């Protein structure tokens, strides 16, 4: 293991890297080769990403500053230094977002008949319809709160839409108040579609904030509204659960979830027309400074515009639809197990269907030979067919064991609900290992079958790089492997045994498991390539992941580069490694592919003197994945499938010339060339190759 004598100059900063990734996503919204409504969707994705960035990363920085932490990260910067740099970059990024929305996207949408009439431009018929809508649908559910000694500032929910009202005059009780707060209930739609005959266009939308602004005086009769300003506060959403002290993980998290909506403020967004007096007042209420203030020219929550892309039926303004394909080996097959006895099956999502995974579990419910089903659950969503199937299996008397990760960020509530329902029907529900999130994606089915020597138990497994979530399986790129290889299935069973029981971990030949062996195995594989390179033989590493941050592994990659190993890294998000630095990393290249689908596959390839070792994994190369999570890396042993992974999951990305951003040694990214001629676009090529256009 490399000693932790790290050089700050060797590392990029994590938080700045995350913002740099969001610049690449925002570039998709600015790219006129992307369908117009998809550009709007990318804009909203940036807003969603920034929300989580502030709720988690910025909140963490502010906590460190608050308690006086002076220590530095691998890049040598203190929390205060990082916060200052992050704030400047985030303000610039948000400014670009709104300039792109107002100056490019909204005018382009208007030309296509998708309009957002501004309040000052409403026609008489539009005003009449909007007033009627306000009186009928909004007024009955609004509760204005005047601020005076008997009405203190209300508790404002995390990321909720609110209006700060400046008033003059006295109310019916003779009270004089200069301010009030109107909170928009979360049940209200944030974007309202106008009828076509009223709007004069097929698709016309007005923002809830605009309607409230136009009629806010109805809430304060007899008083004069001097100002009305939308605002939104983002709060610290980290869960503070002392895993060493709690007696019941589920109850502890349920209690903590109630407080998530009211954590410390970390960001205040206000309309750019808001008076300085009101801004100062709001900053004071949330204990924030001017640095935490974001003045915006438009809705304070751009993510809500996402619903517009779904409500506008204009296929010409969206990506072409496609039908995920079934692998030929499964087409027309009714006996899943017979297929898997003969060969492994590789699934490349979203190009290939997620249905075989669902069918793998569903078949086990009705199959009288199946006696046990085991599965991990990290993210499944609130409406999960797979979870319903597991519940049905338990009802039918199957031995169902589900390892539910209750600390899956922002999915805690859904996972608690599923855990409760599974327990109610007799399933064995385990909450993983205290202090280690269970992030591995695996399922195991056990059947009692006839063998040459009589009845035998045979196991079948599904292993994956992505979650058991059918919706994201159509949006994220991932690999899944279905196998009946006993050498793999027996080790998967061993992992489940470690998760559900007690005892020492056993040595495994094929699976790399965090927090025990994965980091050691990856380092050993890197060092093996170094040995090969020093012997004068070709040495190559290719790895694809969401993030690369673990400093000791980064130093190992630097050493490999200096030994002559050729290294290509495909890192979608943040990368702390600096490629192409003379004397350090000349042989390392880093690219980030951003496109229609979210790149989520984790793959590592080691040439190993022609053995071409390929591992698929649930883990990114980060400290938490190696040392604080239960993660799995599994080999692709079938030579044909291994070749597919290399071709589709790695080489195709290295050949991409239109969606691949190349990282510089300074941490910035060089944009891909504009789409001209016959440039290669990896996601489009894989769609054409694997999934027929619907």
- Point out the residues that are catalytic: 439
Report residue 7 as tokens. Answer: 């050089």
Render 113-160 in DSSP notation, one character per residue: TEE---GGG--HHHHHHHHHHIIIIIGGG--EEE-BTTBPPPPPPTT-
Instruction: Kindly tell me the sign of the dihedral angle through the C-alpha atoms of 550, 551, 556, 560.
Output: positive
Do the beta carbons of residue 372 and residue 454 sit within 8 Å? no
d(CA 294, CA 277): 15
What is the β-pairing status of strands 588-593 and 660-663? antiparallel
d(CA 577, CA 580): 10
Cross-strand bridge partners of residue 482: 345, 462
Report residue 478 as tokens. Answer: 């991932």
Do the beta carbons of residue 268 and residue 292 sit within 8 Å? yes
Q: Which residues contact 94 (CB under 8 A, 6 or more apart)?
A: 50, 294, 296
Beta strands in 465-500 (DSSP E): 476-483
In 3-state terms the chain splits into helix, strand, coil percentages (rounded to 5) of: 40, 25, 35
Which SS3 state, helix, strand or coil, does residue 163 take?
strand
d(CA 457, CA 587): 49
d(CA 607, CA 560): 13
**Backbone dihedral angles phi then psi of residue 70, each to the nearest 5 degrees:** -105, -10
Report residue 625 as tokens. Answer: 């994945």
CA angle at residue 104 from 102 to 106, to 5 degrees? 55
- Angle between helix 36-52 and 14-30 (nearest 10): 160
Do the beta carbons of residue 404 and residue 414 sit within 8 Å? no
What is the β-pairing status of strands 588-593 and 224-235? unpaired
403, 409, 413, 416: CA torsion to nearest 10: 10
Cross-strand bridge partners of residue 370: 447
Render 173-208 in DSSP notation, one character per residue: T--B-SEEEEE--TTS-SEEEPPHHHHTSSEEEEEH
């Amino acid at each position: 293991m490399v000693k932790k004598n790290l050089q700050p100059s060797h590392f990029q900063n994590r938080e700045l890297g995350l913002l740099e990734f969001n610049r690449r996503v925002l570039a998709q919204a600015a790219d006129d080769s992307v369908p117009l409504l998809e550009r709007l969707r990318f804009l909203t994705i940036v807003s969603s990403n920034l929300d989580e960035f502030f709720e988690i990363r910025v909140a963490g920085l502010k906590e460190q500053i608050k308690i006086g932490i002076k220590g530095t990260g691998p890049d040598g910067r203190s929390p205060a230094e990082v916060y200052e740099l992050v704030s400047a970059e985030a303000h610039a990024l948000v400014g670009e977002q709104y300039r792109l929305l107002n100056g490019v996207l909204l005018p382009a949408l208007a030309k296509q008949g998708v309009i957002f009439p501004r309040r000052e431009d409403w026609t008489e018929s539009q005003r009449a319809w909007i007033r009627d809508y306000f009186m009928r649908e909004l007024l009955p559910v609004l509760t204005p709160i005047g601020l005076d000694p008997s009405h203190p500032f209300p508790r404002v929910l995390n990321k909720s839409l609110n209006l700060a009202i400046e008033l003059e005059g006295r109310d019916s009780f003779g009270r004089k108040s200069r301010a009030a707060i109107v909170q928009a209930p979360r049940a209200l739609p944030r974007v309202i579609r106008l009828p076509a005959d009223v709007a004069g266009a097929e698709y016309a939308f007005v923002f809830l904030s605009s309607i409230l602004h136009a009629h806010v005086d109805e809430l304060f009769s007899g008083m004069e509204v001097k100002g009305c300003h939308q605002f939104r506060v983002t709060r610290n959403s980290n869960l503070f659960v002392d895993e060493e002290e709690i007696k019941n993980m589920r109850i502890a998290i349920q209690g903590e979830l109630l407080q998530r909506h009211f954590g410390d403020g970390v960001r205040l967004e206000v309309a750019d027309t808001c008076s300085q007096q009101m801004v100062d007042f709001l900053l004071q209420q949330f204990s924030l400074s001017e640095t935490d203030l974001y003045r915006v020219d438009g809705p304070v929550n751009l993510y809500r515009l996402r619903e517009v892309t779904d409500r506008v039926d204009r296929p010409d303004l969206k990506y072409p639809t496609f039908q995920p394909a079934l692998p030929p080996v499964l087409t027309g097959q009714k006996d899943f197990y017979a297929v898997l006895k003969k060969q492994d099956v590789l699934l490349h999502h979203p190009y290939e269907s997620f249905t075989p995974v669902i069918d793998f579990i569903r078949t086990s419910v009705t199959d009288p030979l199946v006696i046990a089903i085991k599965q991990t659950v990290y993210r499944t969503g609130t409406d999960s067919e797979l979870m319903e199937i597991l519940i049905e299996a338990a009802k039918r008397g199957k031995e169902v064991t589900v390892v539910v990760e209750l600390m899956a960020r922002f999915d805690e509530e859904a996972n608690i609900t599923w855990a409760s329902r599974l327990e109610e029907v007799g399933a064995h529900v385990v909450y993983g290992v205290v202090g280690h999130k269970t992030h591995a994606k695996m399922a195991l089915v056990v059947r009692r079958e006839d063998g040459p020597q009589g009845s035998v138990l045979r196991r079948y497994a599904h292993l994956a790089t992505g979650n058991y979530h059918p919706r994201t399986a159509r949006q994220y790129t991932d690999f899944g492997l279905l196998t009946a290889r006993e050498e793999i299935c027996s080790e998967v069973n061993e992992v489940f045994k470690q998760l559900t029981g007690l005892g020492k971990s056993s040595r495994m030949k094929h699976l790399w498991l965090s927090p025990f062996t994965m980091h050691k195995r990856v380092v050993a594989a890197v060092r093996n390539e170094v040995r090969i390179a020093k012997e004068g033989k070709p040495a190559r590493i290719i790895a694809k992941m969401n993030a690369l941050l673990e400093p000791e592994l980064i130093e190992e990659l630097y050493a490999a580069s200096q030994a002559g190993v050729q290294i290509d890294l495909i890192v979608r998000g943040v990368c702390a490694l600096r490629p192409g630095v003379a004397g350090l990393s000349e042989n390392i290249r880093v690219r980030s592919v951003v496109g229609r689908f979210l790149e989520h596959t984790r793959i590592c390839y080691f040439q190993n003197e022609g053995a071409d070792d390929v591992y698929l994994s649930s883990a990114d190369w980060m400290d938490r994945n190696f040392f604080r999570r239960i993660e799995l890396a599994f080999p692709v042993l079938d030579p044909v499938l291994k070749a597919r992974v290399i071709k589709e999951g790695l080489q195709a990305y290295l050949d991409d010339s239109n969606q691949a951003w190349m990282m510089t040694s300074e941490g910035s990214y060089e944009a891909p060339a504009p789409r001209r001629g016959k440039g290669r676009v990896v996601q489009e090529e894989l769609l054409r190759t694997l999934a027929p256009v619907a």
